[in-house]
Amino acid sequence: MTNLGVYEEKIKDFSWEISERELGYKQGDNINIGEYCTDRICRMGKKDKLALIWEGHGGDIKKYTFDDMRMLTNSIARFFKELGLKGGDRICLFMDKIPELYFGFLGILKMGGIAQPLFSAFGSESLLTRLEDAGTRAVMTQKRHLPKVRNIVKDLPGLEFIIVVDDDASKPLREKEISFSMENIEKIDQFDIFPSKAETPSVLHYTSGTTGKPKGAQHVHYSLISQYITAKYVLDLKDDDIYWCTADPGWVTGTSYGIIGPWANGITQCVLDSGFKAESWYKFAEKHKVTVWYSAPTAIRALMKEGIDVVKKHDLSSLRHLCSVGEPLNAEAVIWSEEAFGRPFHDTYWQTETGSIVISNYPDMKVKPGSMGKPFPGIEATVVDLNTHLPIERTGTVGLIALKPGWPAMFRTYWNNEEIYKSKFKNGWYICGDRASIDEDGYYWFVGRDDDVINTGGHLVGPFEIESALLEHEAVAESAVVGKPDPVNMEVVKAFIALKPGFTASKDMNLNIMNFVRKRLSPLAMPQEIEFVDSLPKTRSGKIMRRVLRAKEWGEEIGDTSTLENDEG
Amino acid sequence: MSDTKDVILEYVKNEYLEEGDDQEVTYTTPLISGGIVDSFSMVSLKLFLENKYDIKIPDDVATPEAFDSVNNIVEVLKKFNIE
């Protein structure tokens, strides 16, 4: 029996009050995610149960019970308070997937701070943009990422504390830098948890758009209500499960379902802090007897490339439920997983802004390979016309995925950008920015993004940010960045570049520009391919027409070119 | 061969470690599984090798395992008669 039961039955009588009731929350109560994931679980009699099994790339293993986690998050919360940090302060977590990242997140929430996790592969410029916008007061990081913070600290007068979690005193720390050791800190039994309410800000996750700088989607503590129940119903988490979410908490999956959802359910989860390697992943799942696995299509396709033989070398019989998120899961990957693991990956759909799963395939529901599934109970979804934004009645017609606002985990604003936040709502619907159709059985089928944002390996990358970085390269006169189809990552970044006079296109120039972007922004933003051109297609008003370049890459019709300045582009 | 190894090792240290990162990287240090070079950055490492040695490494040869250490990369280069 699955937690959700029969989908068609559940949607009839579902309300978010079910989640509130199970969590013991009543309107007007204090609600603090940090407390709900740790103290509450201990009060339920699970203090000695393992909360986290962590394994590093060298094979080191660390284990923490819920009581360890409760006390360590208290210790971290008190440490922040003693620094003078207070409720509402933005505190950035800029670390690999080490235990300090997970406990630091909950510690921040416990003292009332707003957790701002950022992907540790971000370069200095990506980091600067996001810390500057958020007005971040403190960054918690590791020695290996400290140089990137040092590069920008002079540009961030509001950044007061740089907390280094693995300082070994081999080199002196600088002004603003503070050493912190979770292993040596006193475990605090009692901490006065910040009395946050439903609408108190909790997490700030940055996401990329077509234009402008990345935007901080701001969430609140009440998001717990969605994250708890979706983890229970969609991931089907049960008390004896060993759960593995491969996502990095620098992205929203890594916090909603790599921290909040599973731990609010009192589930043991394991984390592998290592780069991707099929053999290592299978060994990890076998060693820890993983039962529920939440991963991404890019990873699944990379595993497919390695073949079935390597799967069969391992005993993966503990696996009982598989889910996927980040980009559409292609039918081949679903069929392959049935062959490799004896069960399909269940695709789930949601975004940084939605905060929790909104459309999904469910454990007891027939999977149509390649489909996104159906709306989560309590989520009112549809597709709306591309122009009028009115719901489309005819099945099979492509429109924009739209959600009726009001589910608990929905973002509350974009930090410092209420205007763009408001622009996301049309005719009373939140417009997700993705195109899809609905079939006669109510299943949603993903078609593509409705803008120029590139989904690479499940992460959204904004072309504007990359083009801006490219313009800082001494040889680049102008550029246009688009997504190009890729068999593993769905899309990868491709840059069309016109060089300044005096510079010549060459293989070395290609590599030089790639590395330039990688270091400034991130490996995700690095163009995987560069095409040097004499000029770029532009409108008569001088705006670069990315869609023309994108259409060529995807083999699609170019569409209306009446405004094109130079057809030969 | 040690010249080739050192060239690659130096490139990895210069390009994939932040300035000031004193992490020790040797011929056997795991690059991909150790998180020094991720799957996206592998493309630039592959391009460096192709440019440097004037070769074309097929995608099915440039796997995370084949690029997981300087020693492994040297084995890949041997297939192109680069010693």
Q: What's the CATH code of the domain at B21?
A: 1.10.1200.10
More confident residue, A57 or B9: B9
Q: Let me know whether A84 and A183 are in one domain.
A: yes
Question: Is there a single domain that holds both residue A172 and residue A315?
Answer: yes
**A442: in domain:** no
In a domain, B83, yes or no: no
Number of folded domains that form chain B? 1
For residues A262 and A306, membership in a common domain is answered with yes
* Per-residue confidence (pLDDT) for residue A561, from 0 to 100: 66
Q: Identify the pLDDT of residue A568.
A: 41
Chain A CB within 8 Å of residue B24 CB: no
* Residue predicted with more confidence, A451 or B41: B41
pLDDT (mean) for A460-477: 92
Is residue A486 domain-shared with residue A416, that is, in the same domain?
A: no
DSSP string over A301-337: HHHHHH-SHHHHTS--TT--EEEE-SSPPPHHHHHHH
Interface residue of A142, A149, A164, A507 to substitute, partner B, most B CBs within 10 Å: A507
Contacts of A162 (CB under 8 A, 6+ apart): A138, A139, A141, A146, A149, A153, A176, A177, A178
Q: Is the pTM of this model over 0.80?
A: yes
Residue A121 touches chain B, beta carbons under 8 Å: yes
Tokens (6 digits) for A157: 């007068």
Its domain, for residue B33, covers 2-78
Q: Stretch A231-259: mean pLDDT, rounded?
A: 97
Residue B54 counted as domain residue = yes
Contact B35 A57 (CB under 8 A): yes
d(CA A252, CA A204): 9
B3 part of contact set with chain A, CB < 8 Å: no
Same structural domain for residues A275 and A157? yes
A441, part of any domain = no
Contacts of A507 in chain B (CB under 8 A): 47, 50-51
Q: What is the pLDDT of residue A448?
A: 84
A463, two tokens: 């072309």
Question: Which residues, in sequence order, are CB contacts of A435 under 8 Å at separation 6+?
Answer: A383, A386, A398, A399, A400, A401, A446, A447, A448, A449, A450
User: What average pLDDT is seen over chain A?
Assistant: 94
- One domain for residues A287 and A372: yes
Determine, yes or no, domain membership for B26.
Answer: yes
Residue A421 and residue A460 in one domain:
no
In chain B, whose CA is at the least distance from the CA of A506? B51
Above pLDDT 90, what percent of chain A? 85
Model confidence at A186, in pLDDT bands (50, 70, 90)? very high
Does one domain contain both A179 and A105?
A: yes
A97 pLDDT above the threshold of 70? yes
- Rounded to an integer, the average pLDDT of A303-324 is 95
User: Domain containing A461: what range?
Assistant: 454-554
- Residues in A touching B21 (Cβ below 8 Å): 143-144, 147
Cβ–Cβ gap B44/A276 under 8 Å? no
Query: How far is CA A286 from its chain centroid?
Result: 26
3-class SS shares of chain B: helix, strand, coil, % to 5: 45, 0, 55
pLDDT at A547: 86
Assign residue A185 the CATH number of its domain.
3.40.50.12780
ipTM over 0.90: yes
User: What's the CA dihedral at A144, A146, A152, A154 to 10 degrees?
Assistant: -150
Residue A186 C-beta-side C-alpha neighbours within 13 Å: 6
B58 in A contact zone (CB under 8 Å): no
- Of the residues A406, A436, A466, which one is the last residue of a structural domain? A436
Using pLDDT thresholds of 50, 70 and 90, give the confidence band for residue A564.
Answer: low
What span, in angstroms and rounded, lies between the C-alpha atoms of A415 and A408? 18
A481 pLDDT exceeds 60?
Answer: yes
